[in-house]
Amino acid sequence: MGICWGSSADIPTTTGQLSTGTTGQISQTTSNNTSSWSSNISRNSRFSASSGDEVYPDGQILPIANLRIFTFAELKVATKNFRADTVLGEGGFGKVFRGWLDEKATSKNGSGSVIAVKKLNSESLQGFEEWQSEVNFLGRLSHPNLVKLLGYCWEDKELLLVYEFMQKGSLENHLFGRGSSVQPLPWDIRLKIAIGAARGLAFLHTSEKQVIYRDFKASNILLDGSYTAKISDFGLAKLGPSASQSHVTTRVMGTYGYAAPEYVATGHLYVKSDVYGFGVVLVEILTGLRALDTNRPNGQHNLVDWVKPFLLNRRKLRNIIDSRFEGKYPSKAAFHIAQLAINCLAAEPKQRPSMKEVIENLERIQAANENPKEPRIRSADHVVHHQGQQALHHRSPLNPKLDGSGTYQNSPLVRSL
């Protein structure tokens, strides 16, 4: 199955209106540059004979997409007819189901594998275009720190995507989740996750066909059984600017609290707009607090605006470090990461480091191998509180989160003014 990759016209774009609330409704329209798309993806293509499982530590862009074309009947069987007890989560695209892919027909030992199946909701406002973008990008991009898209289904009005199952769920669930099913992440695991996610972004930014991810956030960082971070959900990804340009101009799409200020203000999307989002996630990793939380006191709703002064001072930093570390973190390394986050959050894109530079910094911090230890001074007026955080269940492979009613949702999207 071949998927065109020659120009940005092959990738769909969507537009919409800026919602004012954290759970605002999304409206979208599709641009005309998707009109010829249907000829690029075949409903009847056969699974490539290549296994696609070869290991390329630095990633690769496949010459042709290596995706399996599933029938709707196959996925109904895999998910027990999309039974309610197989639901892992629900987002703007639709529900995500856990499934079991029986490989008896292709494997001598009759083995199978767990998969995650994302099924388009017929009432979804963001389905068809993002489904197309996901297939176009993840169908060709292969890297250890990108979630693997195994295949898709397109029958009549049914649109589904099939992914590898990520056993540990999302970084969001681990950072903000509560309850016995979610254990706080220790320092070394958080650093490993940050490095893995950085490698995934760096691959996108430095590949032959430069890709701007556009929606980097904790809920889109998924973790396998060894806590290897993999970037998921390429529904908003966009090809980068040509060699003669510094940015691409597009309608504003992304997530409140993570989107770079220049992009929100002008619609100018730079490669380093992704670096800003990475900086926000670094702050979340340090603090265990959400990028945007209207339940916090006035002046603290936006995490970056609130904690920037703390990141600049090593003593003040102790006041915002995640209390669930229980003091067991390397203070020097934490301060170095805080400094790196500040650099990523620079107001001007050109002042931010590249993701290659970010990786080098993180790997230096990791190599220093500073042993986590109890800080000598414990502040009596520690400002970080987690008791009021919304509960999340550590069970989703594809970035769902709970809303106030106990159902799963994706984070709200920023739309153009």
Contact 26, 92 (CB under 8 A): yes
User: Collapsing DSSP states into helix, strand and coil, what is residue 152?
Assistant: strand
Among residues 10, 215, 233, 293, the one annotated as catalytic is 215
Contact 326, 382 (CB under 8 A): no
Cα 165 from Cα 240, distance rounded (Å):
29
Q: Which residues contact 11 (CB under 8 A, 6 or more apart)?
A: 132, 133, 136, 137, 237, 238, 239
119 is in an annotated binding site: yes
Phi, psi of 118 (to 5 degrees): -100, 120
In terms of residues, how long is the chain?
Answer: 417
Backbone φ/ψ region at 325: left (φ over 0), alpha (ψ -120 to 50), beta = alpha
The question of whether 403 is a catalytic residue gets the answer no
Cα 332 from Cα 260, distance rounded (Å):
28
The DSSP symbol for 238 reads E
Q: Which amino acid is at 324?
A: R
Pick out the residues of the known binding site for ATP: 119
Binding-site annotation: residue ranges: 119
Question: Catalytic amino acids?
Answer: 215
